[in-house]
Structure 1
Amino acid sequence: MRKIISKSFNLEYNETKKGRLDAFINDEISELTRSQIQKFIKDQYITVNGQPVAKSGFKLTNGDKILVNVPEEEPIEAIPENIPIDVVYEDDDVLVVNKPQGMVVHPAAGHPDKTLVNAILYHCQINDDDMIRPGIVHRIDKDTSGLLMIAKNNLAKQSLMKQLKEKSNLREYVAIVHGNFKEKTGKINAPLGRSKTDRKKQAVVENGRNAVTHFTVLEQFENYSLLKLKLETGRTHQIRVHMQYIGHPVAGDPLYGPKNTLKGNGQFLHAKTLGFVHPRTNKWMEFSVEPPKIFLDTLMQLRH
């Protein structure tokens, strides 16, 4: 059964040179990603002059009329799944977990299950009206490992989100990055927003959202350095974009780093230390976990 159409776009190609169908739609409709467009073409939701086309690379000619039908998304629901999680701390209000590399934090298009949220819902009860991101107050990327704080009720959620907004909590990372540094410490203050050339990426952009990252050089090796990074703000891909911006991309980063890099399971970035005021007791709590084995093994190789 075909999905219900949620919206449609009528486009006309007015270029003297031939152009790719998927690239043209991507330029014209900013809310769609290139992968979404290619899937819609494959599923015959997009027609050229009234006819479906077989390939995303279909060449358009001047005057071609394109109809883009956007299907209604299937509802996403977070359901409990018996997936082991590394619990660092837990009480009636908060849960602190060490997320492994390769795990998405919550269900979304393309990742409907096997997420950290699915695992948490099996592990314990979360009293939250958000059906997709219950208990989630902050996130780390799929291939970034490390500490996350989870709110088990509304009191905890409001308190932890307030601390994030007021920048009163502690979030420190360690990362292996390309290149060496003359300075021992630094501060990167550069606004972030969606990249104008690649919608999958964030970038330093004029009039973007305020973003501040502090770094300290812990060790230096041949062509690489180990950094401690402290977040003042928490924007999407903040550390990865800021390090690329200053010419020291995170090693292993498939999105913002060079192809010639350290081999691993994605970026060598780990949320090592997390601190916050407990929402009920008002006591300061701080946790720290070591990076995964592949991170530590790579450090050992660099040292030798």
Structure 2
Amino acid sequence: MNITKFGTFYRMLPNFQHHFILKMPRHAQTQHGDATVDEENIVLLKNAIYQTVPSTEPLTCTWFYNVDPNVRNYVTAIANQDLKVVLPEKRKADNTEQVEALKKARLETKALKAKRPGFSDDRYDETSYYFENGLRKVYPYYFTFTTFTKGRWVDDKILDVFSREFRAHPPEEYKRSILTGSLKVNYECVPVDYKLKHNDLLSNTVHRHEVPVTDQAITIVHMDEDIVVINKPASIPVHPCGRYRHNTVVFILAKEYNLKNLRTIHRLDRLTSGLLLFGRTPKKARLLEQQIRNRDVEKEYVCRVEGNFPDGIIECKEPIEVVSYKIGVCKVSPKGKDCSTTFEKISYNGTTSVILCKPLTGRMHQIRVHLQYLGYPIINDPLYNHEVFGPLKGRGGDIGGRTDEELVKDLIHVHNAENWLGVDEDFGSEGLILPKHDHIENGDKDVEAVSETSTIVNDDLNKIDKPLLVEEEKEQTNTVSVGTQTGHDPPDTAYNKEKTTVDEHCYECKVRFKDPKPNDLIMYLHAWKYRGPGWAYETELPNWADKAWSETAVE
């Protein structure tokens, strides 16, 4: 049989009246605008089966590359049967309305996936921003999270699932949501002991309060028809996750720069500043992503660490293992993945050193973990420069004799008091358990938090973006200004009480959280230079990288 090659790897079904080619799923590239490939495969397969001319020979299939075993089993099962295909009967819904509701939900889900990474205009219009105390804040708004039941949830009670999987609020709050009907299954109210079934659609309407971020401006480093390069300040996640939605890079760029449907090419930690690249076309995004994956891109970071870093070039090749994906924590471990980082001291001010970092691989938290291992952690790294890793703070891999389970437990315990861990869950989870506060009355915006631990929960270790400056500052910069053509109002320069909504059942409406301090929103790690085949981008160095800088300057 002649094999036709088209693109990368494909598979052919012989004995059909019309030969055809099934495209392989694009895997990582799917997020760059080809999300319907899998659906096309299914349609092509079904059409080919029905169009086949009867034959005395058994139906056979030749497979290439890495074929999904479920698809292989499906084709094999029908291969030696009569060509009249009988598809399995779907689970019937209780009534026509439920069927239509489920179909609508699935269509909306497919439409959302097809439009990734962009969002519809009504999503951008959910709320607006205001600036206060050097922070960009979001007016509270109502939002409905939706998801289909995961396999591990089937036959579990809905209250148990939410109490276990989504720990943003205590079980009592989820119980109230179920009883009042804000948390529904298939758009219908259910009892708290309802057991979830396959394909159940869960929807939870919440009064959402987002975490504030810095009010610094996004600086456009380079922009053309294929790519957008920005200088990202610390504190803003790249895309909606955890407690962040409108206070994210993609929302701010869309609402204030009219830059929509950007493709994420690489990531930075939430607290890290510096170069961030977005593709404006799927082709460009895939090209740059491939260059990074093939290690054709040279990356240079700068950071400020404790102590006098050794002279010369120091290379660290310690493997790094992810201790917990759920809370985003890593450590040096023989069981980890190979990685390499080179460090070179730029300056020393008597107490701290500015270091040039060149990661040769791209492991999670690689620079931060290697510096911790060398004994020179970033001075304001809230995670890897902390006694939770033991008396030596993880130097030389010493985490105080804890097991991984004990370390994660200790990290969560400390987080509940200090609120610096990040969680990226997929159904409205807004971080780990919030610290307990006494309820206070609504209304007076100047009321202070009633607990010393009432600080803002910072919930993501992803990339961040810089918001725009207030009016007085914008005139003094060369950054792209807010365009009226975006159709969105610019951020308010002060809090507007008339734009605030209050929900009597909302937990966070009853609590006045303290604003984070500037040092809570920044870590002294900056993506400085990226260069690849035929291109190079560079940002200005932050002020903390100056040789004469001292900690007293920010106190």
Please indicate the TM-score interval, normalised by the length of the shorter structure: 0.5 to 0.7
Given that residues 231 and 539 in structure 2 are in contact (C-alpha distance below 8 angstroms), is that contact kept between their aligned partners in structure 1? Answer: no
Cα distance change on mapping 1:97 and 1:151 into 2, 3 Å: same
Mapping of residues 26-105 of structure 1, within 5 Å:
36-37=166-167, 39=169, 41-44=171-174, 72=202, 85-105=218-238
Aligned-residue offset at 1:161? 0.5
SS in 1 for 2:363: coil
Q: Which 4+ residue blocks in structure 1 deviate beyond 4 angstroms?
A: 1-5, 71-75, 124-127, 296-299
SS in 2 for 1:43: helix
Given that residues 273 and 289 in structure 1 are in contact (C-alpha distance below 8 angstroms), is that contact kept between their aligned partners in structure 2? Answer: no
SS in 1 for 2:381: coil
- Pick aligned residue for 2:531 from 262, 275, 279: 275
Identity %: 26
Q: Deviations over 1:46-73 (max 9, x none)?
A: xxxxxxxxxxxxxxxxxxxxx999x957
Q: Max radius of gyration: which structure?
A: 2
Tell me the distance in 1 between the aligned counterparts of 2:375 and 2:302.
Answer: 17
Aligned-residue offset at 1:98? 0.3
Aligned-residue offset at 1:298? 8.8
SS in 2 for 1:195: strand
Cα distance change on mapping 1:152 and 1:5 into 2, 3 Å: closer
The structure that is strand-richer by fraction is 1
TM-score (norm 2): 0.38
Tell me the distance in 1 between the aligned counterparts of 2:385 and 2:145.
Answer: 40
Q: Which residue of 2 aligns with 1:195?
A: 323
TM-score (norm 1): 0.67
Structure 1 alignment gaps of length 5 or more: 11-25, 46-66, 76-82, 128-133, 278-282
Count of aligned residue pairs for this structure pair: 243
Q: Does 1:179 align with 2:307?
A: yes
Mapping of residues 258-297 of structure 1, within 5 Å:
258=386, 264=519, 265-277=521-533, 283-291=534-542, 293=543, 295-296=544-545
Tell me the distance in 1 between the aligned counterparts of 2:220 and 2:145.
Answer: 42
Tell me the distance in 2 between the aligned counterparts of 1:197 and 1:126.
Answer: 29
Greater alpha carbon shift after TM alignment, 199-208 vs 225-234: 199-208
Tell me the distance in 2 between the aligned counterparts of 1:237 and 1:173.
Answer: 13
Tell me the distance in 1 between the aligned counterparts of 2:545 and 2:248.
Answer: 25
Q: Deviations over 1:23-47 (max 9, x none)?
A: xxx9xx8xx5xxx4363534346xx
The structure that is helix-richer by fraction is 2
Q: Which residue of 1 aligns with 2:249?
A: 116
2:167 is aligned with what amino acid?
I
SS in 1 for 2:264: coil
SS in 2 for 1:167: coil
SS in 2 for 1:121: helix
Given that residues 347 and 547 in structure 2 are in contact (C-alpha distance below 8 angstroms), is that contact kept between their aligned partners in structure 1? Answer: no
1:300 is aligned with what amino acid?
W
1:139 is aligned with what amino acid?
R
Aligned-residue offset at 1:158? 1.1
Aligned-residue offset at 1:219? 1.1
- Pick aligned residue for 1:217 from 345, 348, 354: 345
1:255 is aligned with what amino acid?
L
Given that residues 218 and 226 in structure 1 are in contact (C-alpha distance below 8 angstroms), is that contact kept between their aligned partners in structure 2? Answer: yes
1:269 is aligned with what amino acid?
L
Aligned-residue offset at 1:126? 5.0
Which structure carries more relative contact order (alpha carbon 8 Å, separation 6+)?
2
Greater alpha carbon shift after TM alignment, 110-119 vs 139-148: 110-119
Tell me the distance in 2 between the aligned counterparts of 1:197 and 1:112.
Answer: 21
Given that residues 310 and 345 in structure 2 are in contact (C-alpha distance below 8 angstroms), is that contact kept between their aligned partners in structure 1? Answer: no
Q: Which residue of 2 aligns with 1:107?
A: 240
